[in-house]
C-alpha cells in the first residue's frame, strides 16, 4: 500500500505540473495577462505634455524638451525607455528658440507636420510654429520650418495647437489669450477651420474659458506660485466617439504647477457647426483628476492613442508623484498611459490614475502582430 501511495503521489505531482503548464500556456494566449505582457507607469522618468501618433504599425512619440524637439519611434508605446530617438529640430531663430512646448507630430496628406509653441525668451510672446517633412519615415530627411500660425490680427499668445479632420475639413484647436495680459492672465480654448496645416481658413472661435471652480485653481499652499493670477484652459485634444455621435475635446484646466491640474470635456454633435460656440457643452466636473490615495498628482495635458489592433483606447498624460515639484528636483512631470472605456451614451470614462506600483496590461495586438 505504501508503494501504491508513493506512485499515486508521484502521479498527482505530475498531473499538477501538467495543469500548471497548461495554465501558463493559457496565459500566453491572453486569457490572463502574463508578466511580459504588463507595464508600469511612468513610461519614462521625465516627459511633460506627452503626445503619441500611431501610423502604419509604429508609434511616434514626443514631449516637451524646452530647447529642442525630439522624436521617439517604437512598435510598443509602453517601452519608450528603449525606443529609438532622434533630435529633429534645434531652433536658430531667436524669435522662437526658447521654451519649446507641447510638440505634436501628425501625418497629414502624406507629409509629416510638427506643431509646437515657442517664444523669444519671454513666455508672454509664445506663438505656434509648424515644421514639415515630406518623407515617408519622419526619421528620414530633415524637417524644415513651414512658418508661424497666425491666429488673430493682434498675434495674441498661443500654445498647444492640435489638428483634426472632420467630414473632410481640417480644424485646429488651441489655447490662447483673447487679449494680452494686463493684471490677470486667462487662457481660453479656440477652434478654427484650416486651409492647410499652417494657415487658418476662418476666424478663431472661443469655445471655452476658465469659469468653473475646478478650472480656476492657480495657487499652491506649499510650492511655487506665479507672480500674477493665471486662469488656465489648455492642451485641447480632439476625440471622436466610437458610435459617431460626438466630437469630444479633452482639455486641461487649473495651474499645471498645482496638484489640481485636471481634464475637462467639451462636446459637440458630429452634425453641428463646430465653429459655433453654442454647439459645444462643457462637463460640470473634471473627467480625469489627481488621486491622492494613489499618489498621483497634477494629471493632465493628455493625448489619445489606440492599441495596435485598433480595439482598445488609451489616454496618455503627465503627472507627478508629489503634490508639487519638490525643491531642487526640477520638473518632475512624467508620461503615463492607461486604458479607458466608452459608455453607452458615447462618452469616455477615463477612470482614475493608477498607482505606479500597479501592473497594467499592454495594448492589445492581433495574432499576426506578435
pLDDT of residue 8: 38
pLDDT score recorded for residue 142? 97
Domain shared by 98 and 153, yes or no: yes
Q: How far apart are CA 239 and CA 242, in angstroms?
A: 9
Domain that holds residue 3: 1-32
DSSP labels, 96-136: GSEEEEEEEEEEETTEEEEEEEEESS-GGG-EEEEEEE-SS
State residue 327's pLDDT score.
87
Mark whether 3 and 54 lie in a shared domain. no
313 assigned to some structural domain: yes
Closest CA to 317 of 124, 50, 1: 50
22 and 133 in a common domain: no
pLDDT confidence of residue 168: 97
Predicted confidence at residue 1, as pLDDT, reads 39
- CA–CA gap between residue 347 and residue 249 (Å, rounded): 11
Q: How many CB atoms lie within 10 A of CB 36?
A: 9
Q: Is the pLDDT of residue 3 over 80?
A: no
pLDDT at residue 230 greater than cutoff 50 = yes
pLDDT for the residue 295:
98
Would you place residue 223 in the very low, low, confident or very high pLDDT band (cuts 50, 70, 90)?
Answer: confident
- Judge whether 49 counts as a catalytic residue: yes
CA distance 370 to 366: 7
pLDDT at 328: 87
Look at residue 85 and tell me whether its pLDDT is greater than 80.
yes
**222 lies in some domain:** yes
| Percentage, residues of the chain above pLDDT 90 | 85
The span from the CA of 257 to the CA of 330, in Å, is 12
Across the chain, how many H-helices and E-strands are there? 1, 25
CB atoms within 10 A of CB 277: 13
Contact indicator for 138, 53 with CB cutoff of 8 Å = no
Residue 290 half-sphere exposure, CB side, CA atoms within 13 Å? 22
Distance CA 169, CA 163 (A): 10
The DSSP letter of residue 268 is: E
Average pLDDT over all residues of the chain: 91
Identify whether 146 is part of a domain. yes
Q: Which of 49, 104, 119, 160 is catalytic?
A: 49
To which H or E segment does residue 12 belong?
A: helix 2-28
Q: What residue spans of 188-325 are helical by DSSP H?
A: none
* Counted domains in the chain: 2
**Domain shared by 21 and 158, yes or no:** no
- 50 shares a domain with 26: no
Q: Are residues 24 and 116 in the same domain?
A: no
| Residue 23 belongs to a domain | yes
User: 15-37, pLDDT tens digit by residue?
Assistant: 333 334 443 333 333 334 445 89
Same domain, 327 and 235: yes
* Residue 359 to residue 328: CA distance in whole angstroms: 30
Let me know whether 194 and 281 are in one domain. yes
Residue 66 bridge partners (DSSP) = 100
Q: Is residue 356 part of a domain?
A: yes
User: What is the pLDDT, as a whole number, of residue 370?
Assistant: 60
Any domain includes 347: yes
User: Which CATH number belongs to the domain containing residue 236 in this structure?
Assistant: 2.115.10.20
The answer to whether the beta carbons of residues 298 and 332 sit under 8 Å apart is no
For 63, phi then psi, to 5°, come to: -150, 170
Q: With the C-alpha atoms ordered 12, 13, 18, 20, is the resulting torsion angle positive or negative?
A: positive
Q: Per-residue pLDDT for 336 more than 70?
A: yes
Q: Which of 104, 119, 234, 313 is catalytic?
A: 234
For the record, the C-alpha cell of 164 comes out as 483634426
Give the residue-averaged pLDDT of 194-206: 98
Q: Grade residue 5 by pLDDT with cuts at 50, 70 and 90.
A: very low
Give the residue-averaged pLDDT of 95-116.
98
Residue 129: inside a domain, yes or no? yes
Residues 271 and 198 in one domain: yes
Domain match, 28 and 80 both: no
Predicted local distance difference test score (pLDDT) of residue 213: 98
- Asked whether residue 38 is assigned to any structural domain, the reply reads no
In this structure, the answer to whether residues 338 and 229 fall within a common structural domain is: yes
Q: What is the per-residue pLDDT for 290? A: 98
Residue carrying the nine cell digits 486662469: 231
Task: Find how far residue 232's CA is from the centre of its chain.
Answer: 17
Please check whether residues 27 and 74 belong to one and the same domain.
no
What grid cell was written down for 150? 497666425
Nearest to 166 by CA among 277, 244, 283: 244
With beta carbons less than 8 A apart as the criterion, state whether 120 and 95 touch: yes
Name the one residue in this structure whose C-alpha cell is 473632410: 168
**In the structure, what pLDDT confidence band is assigned to residue 367 with cuts at 50, 70 and 90?**
low
The pLDDT assigned to 23 comes to 39
Amino acid at each position: 500500500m505504501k508503494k501504491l501511495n508513493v506512485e499515486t503521489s508521484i502521479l498527482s505531482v505530475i498531473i499538477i505540473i501538467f495543469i500548471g503548464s497548461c495554465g501558463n500556456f493559457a496565459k500566453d494566449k491572453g486569457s490572463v495577462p502574463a508578466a511580459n505582457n504588463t507595464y508600469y507607469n511612468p513610461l519614462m522618468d521625465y516627459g511633460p505634455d506627452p503626445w503619441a501618433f500611431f501610423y502604419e504599425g509604429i508609434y511616434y512619440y514626443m514631449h516637451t524638451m524646452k530647447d529642442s524637439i525630439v522624436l521617439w519611434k517604437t512598435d510598443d508605446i509602453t517601452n519608450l525607455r528603449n525606443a529609438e530617438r532622434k533630435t529633429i529640430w534645434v531652433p536658430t531663430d531667436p524669435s522662437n528658440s526658447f521654451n519649446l512646448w507641447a510638440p505634436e507630430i501628425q501625418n497629414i496628406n502624406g507629409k509629416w507636420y510638427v506643431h509646437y509653441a515657442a517664444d523669444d525668451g519671454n513666455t508672454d510672446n509664445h506663438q505656434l510654429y509648424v515644421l514639415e517633412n515630406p518623407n515617408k519615415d519622419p526619421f528620414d530627411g530633415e524637417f524644415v520650418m513651414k512658418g508661424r500660425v497666425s491666429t488673430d490680427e493682434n498675434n495674441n499668445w498661443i500654445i498647444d495647437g492640435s489638428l483634426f479632420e472632420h467630414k473632410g475639413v481640417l480644424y485646429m484647436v488651441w489655447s490662447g489669450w483673447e487679449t494680452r495680459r494686463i493684471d490677470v492672465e486667462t487662457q481660453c480654448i479656440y477652434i478654427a477651420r484650416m486651409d492647410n496645416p499652417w494657415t487658418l481658413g476662418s476666424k478663431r472661435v472661443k469655445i471655452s474659458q476658465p469659469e468653473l471652480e475646478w478650472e480656476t485653481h492657480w495657487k499652491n499652499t506649499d510650492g511655487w506660485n506665479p507672480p500674477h493670477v493665471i486662469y488656465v484652459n489648455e492642451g485641447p485634444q480632439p476625440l471622436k466617439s466610437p458610435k459617431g455621435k460626438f466630437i469630444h475635446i479633452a482639455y486641461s484646466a487649473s495651474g499645471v504647477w498645482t496638484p489640481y491640474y485636471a481634464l475637462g470635456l467639451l462636446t459637440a454633435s458630429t452634425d453641428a457647426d463646430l465653429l459655433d460656440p453654442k454647439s459645444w457643452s462643457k462637463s460640470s466636473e473634471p473627467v480625469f483628476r489627481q488621486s491622492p490615495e494613489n499618489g498621483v498628482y497634477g494629471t493632465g495635458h493628455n493625448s489619445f492613442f489606440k492599441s495596435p489592433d485598433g480595439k482598445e483606447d488609451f489616454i496618455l498624460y503627465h503627472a507627478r508623484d508629489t503634490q508639487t515639484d519638490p525643491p531642487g528636483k526640477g520638473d518632475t512631470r512624467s508620461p503615463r498611459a492607461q486604458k479607458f472605456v466608452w459608455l453607452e451614451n458615447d462618452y469616455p470614462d477615463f477612470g482614475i490614475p493608477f498607482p505606479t506600483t500597479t501592473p497594467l496590461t499592454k495594448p492589445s495586438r492581433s495574432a499576426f502582430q506578435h
